Amino acid sequence: MFARSVAVVGTGYVGLTTGACLASLGHRVVCADIDAAKVGKLVRGEIGIREPGLAELVREGIAAGRLSFVVGAAAALAELQSRGTPVEVMFLCVPTPMGVGGVADLAAVEAVVEETRDVIPEGCVVVNKSTVPVGTADRTSELLGRPDVGVVSNPEFLREGSAVHDFLNPDRIVVGSNSSQDAAERVAALYARLGAPTVLTDAASAEMIKYAANCFLAMKLSYVNALAELCERLDADVADVTEGIGYDKRIGQAFLSPGPGWGGSCLPKDIHALLQVADSADFEFRLLRATIDTNTRQFQRMVEKIRKAVTGKRSGSVTRKRIALFGLTFKAGTDDLRDSPALGVAALLKQAGAELVAYDPGIAAASSSIDGSLLTVVDDPYEAAKDAEAIVILTEWPEFRSLDWQRLGAAVAERTVVDTRNLLDPAVVRRADFDWVGVGRAAPYVASSLATSSVSAVRKPA
Ligand code: UGA
């Protein structure tokens, strides 16, 4: 493989993973960020985020001399130039937060273009990896005003918590270009060793693929959360229903677990952005609106479940009731709290007057940036459970499965668990005399038949 000289601008989840993984594939990579303190830490191999395998890859890249970090995009180009290897590809991995009306805010992309316009070497390819509205590649080209520099879109599909694995084992590589086929092929070649199917397309289609994928996932999750509600009403079991439909290869088993709602820094932002794009194209995308509404309702539904578990009534008062929240991050395996459904549920409970104490394996009490007026974070699940009227599982951390429920039983005021992730084995929890409430699980099934059901023979372990 021919090693390329690559600049990566932005060292968030996507940028840092891209830089470290490309270096591990043999490319020479300089990563840039505007945050000097962050760069100072990265130079020492301290990555500051929880992402399995990433710190090791960063340190390996630094040690091998293939990965370095500088402050500012122009400095990254200069660094490569000074090594006699002018940058061939410059990735833009900067944040594109939700701006006014749900539209993506491109200020960071524009600032990098402004900073580097006059110093990008001829023939370099600028790659948009940030999730950007359809048409941004063209807009970037215009802003750049450099016909000798190709602009392509190469969306990233990695998930937080498995970013390195996802980057190195992609389902597909997508590269979209309006300028030249050569620019697109050059970018695709960076990933050649990964052997993934490659979709070469125009820039707008590549940009659309990113939104279409995230919005489809959100739609799948809202569908499954709505199914779970219907299952509750009909005494059907959503775990069996999803297993049953998931074997259909056209549907697939992934992304079929009900939860407290979907969140994170990507799905909510991207669905609002696509809705905004659709609105501006005069297209009423009802399916997306229903996907968002179903999610908003899911948070409220979880609160009703908690009210019912604590008071016996869906609308019962939780004022001054102490509730232990297990899990705050938007999913397990990350320390990211952005747009976390757990915090959405917590905010509704707080509004209703509950007193909240939380434990999360990824969030240390001392370093927690959570507003103390919303909830108190502690470092020990048994301390969180002390005098609680209910324990609510909000994030699917596997370690919650091995908690000592007898010990928790001794700590709580009432032995009630609301498991919004269907994470726990109800039989285990019930053995410690807890009432267990899940999402979309038929009461008779979970009470007695888990071990004896004839279908359990084909059931995979939870
Ligand atoms: C998502 C996409 O999955 C990635 O492909 C994409 O690259 C990324 O956004 C991005 O655009 O950067 P991520 O935000 O890391 O990745 O989170 P997901 O793993 O997709 O989870 C999103 C939410 O859905 C979480 O709240 C999670 O708990 C929830 N979820 C997921 C469920 O409730 N049930 C499931 O079965 C799966």
Does 40 have pLDDT greater than 50?
yes
**From the CB of residue 97, how many other CB atoms can be counted at a distance below 10 Å?**
12
Instruction: Report how far residue 247's alpha carbon sits from residue 264's, in angstroms, rounded to the nearest whole number.
Output: 27
Q: Whose CA is nearest to atom 5 of ligand 1?
A: 157
Rounded to the nearest angstrom, the distance between the alpha carbon of 268 and the centre of ligand 1 is 10
> Higher-confidence residue: 104 or 345?
345
Q: What is the dihedral of CA 358, 359, 365, 370, to 10 degrees?
A: -40
Structure confidence at residue 1 (pLDDT): 56
Any bridge partners for residue 390, and if so which?
323
Q: Which atom of ligand 1 is nearest to the CA of 263?
A: 26
Q: Whose CA is nearest to atom 11 of ligand 1?
A: 266
Residue extents of the structural domains in the chain: 5-201, 217-437
Question: Helix H segments across 235-379?
Answer: 238-246, 267-280, 286-311, 341-351
The H-or-E segment that residue 70 falls in is strand 67-71
Q: What is the mean pLDDT of residues 214-241?
A: 97
CATH number of 217-437: 3.40.50.720
The phi and psi torsions of 436 (rounded to 5 degrees) equal: -115, 130
Query: Apex CA 33: angle with CA 188 and CA 277, to 5°?
Result: 60
Rounded to the nearest angstrom, the distance between the alpha carbon of 266 and the centre of ligand 1 is 8
Structure confidence at residue 454 (pLDDT): 41
44, 82 contact by CB (below 8 A): no
| Confidence band of 86 (pLDDT split at 50, 70, 90) | confident
Rounded to the nearest angstrom, the distance between the alpha carbon of 279 and the centre of ligand 1 is 24
Q: Which atom of ligand 1 is nearest to the CA of 264?
A: 14
Check if 5-201 and 217-437 are the same fold: yes
The phi and psi torsions of 175 (rounded to 5 degrees) equal: -130, 125
Q: To the nearest whole number, what is the mean pLDDT of the chain?
A: 93
Ligand 1 proximal residues by C-beta, below 6 Å: 131, 156-160, 214, 217, 221, 255-257, 259, 262-264, 266-267, 330-331, 341
Out of 153, 296, 331, give the residue to mutate to test ligand 1, the one with the largest number of ligand atoms within 8 Å of its CB.
331
Any bridge partners for residue 33, and if so which?
71
Q: What is the mean pLDDT of residues 34-38?
A: 97
Q: What is the mean pLDDT of residues 270-290?
A: 94
Q: Whose CA is nearest to atom 31 of ligand 1?
A: 255
Does 38 have pLDDT greater than 50?
yes
DSSP per-residue codes, 345-393 = HHHHHHHTT-EEEEEBTTB-TTT--S-TTT-EEES-HHHHHTT-SEEEE
Does 460 have pLDDT greater than 70?
no
pLDDT in tens, 168-212: 999 999 999 998 889 999 999 999 999 999 999 999 999 999 999
DSSP state of 340: -
Structure confidence at residue 443 (pLDDT): 62
CATH number of 5-201: 3.40.50.720
CA 444 to mean position of chain CA atoms: 34
Out of 51, 159, 174, 220, give the residue to mutate to test ligand 1, the one with the largest number of ligand atoms within 8 Å of its CB.
159
Rounded to the nearest angstrom, the distance between the alpha carbon of 258 and the centre of ligand 1 is 13
Rounded to the nearest angstrom, the distance between the alpha carbon of 217 and the centre of ligand 1 is 8
Structure confidence at residue 383 (pLDDT): 98
Read off the pTM: 0.92
Does 461 have pLDDT greater than 70?
no
Structure confidence at residue 179 (pLDDT): 81
Does 446 have pLDDT greater than 70?
no
- Hey, is 288 helix, strand or coil? helix
- Hey, is 416 helix, strand or coil? strand
Told to judge if 266 belongs to the known catalytic residues of this protein, a careful annotator would answer yes
- Hey, is 46 helix, strand or coil? coil
pLDDT in tens, 334-388: 999 999 999 999 999 999 999 999 999 999 998 778 888 999 999 999 999 999 9
